[in-house]
Structure 1
């Protein structure tokens, strides 16, 4: 298996497979692929194919899909390409017993067969963040390689033991699963979402953190004034 990430603003991930090699992704993630691939959709993929329906249910609780699709290359080999959904970066993660990760829901793109995608953290937030849907992190564990999408520009921080960082929840894109994570209410900060308090994510070292400059909620808010008004109806006379 060979991978190549190309592009800058809207990157592409091309996965080139030898005959019989496989890659797993959620439905609808593939942008294009060479002919001859066998495709199978099931709940059992991930964690070596052992999880079955319960693994699929964990993915749903983590903001993912119940079913995953396994792409198997023909004997001559082939390539599958995935496209970023938002401007940003595609990140490759090597996962094993010592390196599990927490990533924001909808960031997972694809992985090799030994990676398990499950719910890691859920928290209901105010209506102004994520459209009231709350914050959900998926946990990537097991053994293998996964690829995730981070939005906008990405800043990486290494927090030492005893260090912590306060982060707007939407900008916390990815962190190592063993790090301690909680929410902190910042009293006295007036804003349109929480009145006189601001809810921030507080993450504690040691460990590595990836912060993203763009959030889907803020992008949607920026373009909303330019969208057609769906409440306006047009009448025509005969």
Structure 2
């Protein structure tokens, strides 16, 4: 389980989802607002759009005290934390729930929402958040990470849950693959087709697959059992 620890000089600050902090040195000023994570350009509506894109309505700004300090964030899934440099030429789409921390002028917004039917994620569909603006951002990706550079005219078919991160300008579409029944008894398998040119990051683990792997080992309540001594 990865941990991201960031040392800040006096007065420096970073933006993060409020409940994700793991530990920090004393003295940090913590302020929560809907306008954070909108590149300084929005308020409640920007926060609402971010929430609709799978993020949090409120984000927290952590400002270091006069002596400086550090703040640490723990990943929610086994995997890796990656740094992204954001500017007008480098915008990214990241899986819902992957955003961790950014500098103030990075905008976190809904990038793509697609309901793919009951066979994918139990009908929840797929959501990507868009990271734009200017500055640095850190994202958590699950499991092992495999990266590919796609040239112009190249494309790749990827299960949507394994497409962790890609450059925002890359075209993405979804299609049914006939002849393969998915595990939720759908009549076909949905795959994402992403087109080059651009760079993609694929993750080996998805939350739904991890949950499915652990489910057989979780205790189950036996509703038919009768407590000892009951009449």
TM-score after normalising by structure 2: 0.94
1:43 corresponds to: 34
1:126–1:194: 8 Å Cα contact kept in structure 2?
Answer: no
- Partners of 1:39 and 1:195 lie apart in 2 by 46
Q: Provide the residue aligned with 1:73 in structure 2.
A: 64
* Match of residue 174 from structure 2: 183
CA offsets 1:76-126 (integer angstroms, 9 cap, x no match): 001000111111000000000000000000000010000010000111123
What CA deviation, in whole Å up to 9, does each residue of 1:165-202 have, x standing for no partner? 00011100000000000002111223333544211000
SS at match of 2:214: helix
Q: Which residue of 2 aligns with 1:165?
A: 156
- The reply to whether residue 94 of structure 1 matches residue 85 of structure 2 is yes
User: Please, what is the CA RMSD of the aligned residues?
Assistant: 1.5
Equivalent of 2:213 in 219, 222, 226: 222
2:130 aligned with 1:174, yes or no?
no
Q: 1:194 to 1:182 in 2, by over 3 A?
A: farther
Distance 1:57 1:217 in 2: 25
Of 94, 109, 112, 1:121 maps to 112
Partner residue, 1:14: 5
Matched, 1:59 2:31: no
Do 1:47 and 1:143's aligned partners in 2 also have CA atoms closer than 8 Å? no
Quickly say closer, same or farther: Cα 1:84–1:173, change in 2 above 3 A: same
| 1:144 aligned partner | 135
**CA–CA distance in 2 between the matches of 1:231 and 1:167?**
39
Change (3 A) 1:20 1:234: farther
* CA displacement, residues 22-67 of structure 1 (integer Å, 9 cap, x when unaligned): 0110121110000000000100112442211111011111101100
2-side partners of 1:212 and 1:220: how far apart? Answer: 16
For 2:192, which of 201, 220, 230 is the aligned residue? 201
The CA distance in 2 between the partners of 1:231 and 1:146, in whole Å, is 46
Structure 1's unaligned 5+ residue stretches are: 1-9
Structure 2 residue aligned with 1:108: 99
* Count of aligned residue pairs for this structure pair: 229
Distance, in Å, in 2 between the alignment partners of 1:108 and 1:138 is 8
